[in-house]
Amino acid sequence: MEPSLAGGALLDVGIYPLNFAEMVFGSGAQIHAVCTKSDKVVDLNDSMTLVWEDGKMDEARRQMGVRYPLE
């Protein structure tokens, strides 16, 4: 994974669920997040919890570069 070619797990595949959560619940959530990065400092795995003041919560996870066995 090359940092100059893409934004990593969050920007490549994970931004859509976050946009949807803000469309449904509104903006202004507290965000708690962690990620693991490749040796080239590209985020490979992200986990986020968004919490709104009224108690609504969204959990989102995304992964890149995971190899699943073919059956």
Burial class (CB in 10 A: 0-12, 13-18, 19+), 43: buried
pLDDT at 2 > cutoff 70 = no
Other CB atoms closer than 10 Å to residue 48's CB: what's the count?
20
Q: What is the mean pLDDT of residues 28-47?
A: 88
The arithmetic mean of pLDDT across residues 21-38, rounded, is 91
Q: For residue 59, what pLDDT is reported?
A: 92
Is the full-model pTM beyond 0.75? no
Q: How far apart are CA 45 and CA 58, in angstroms?
A: 17
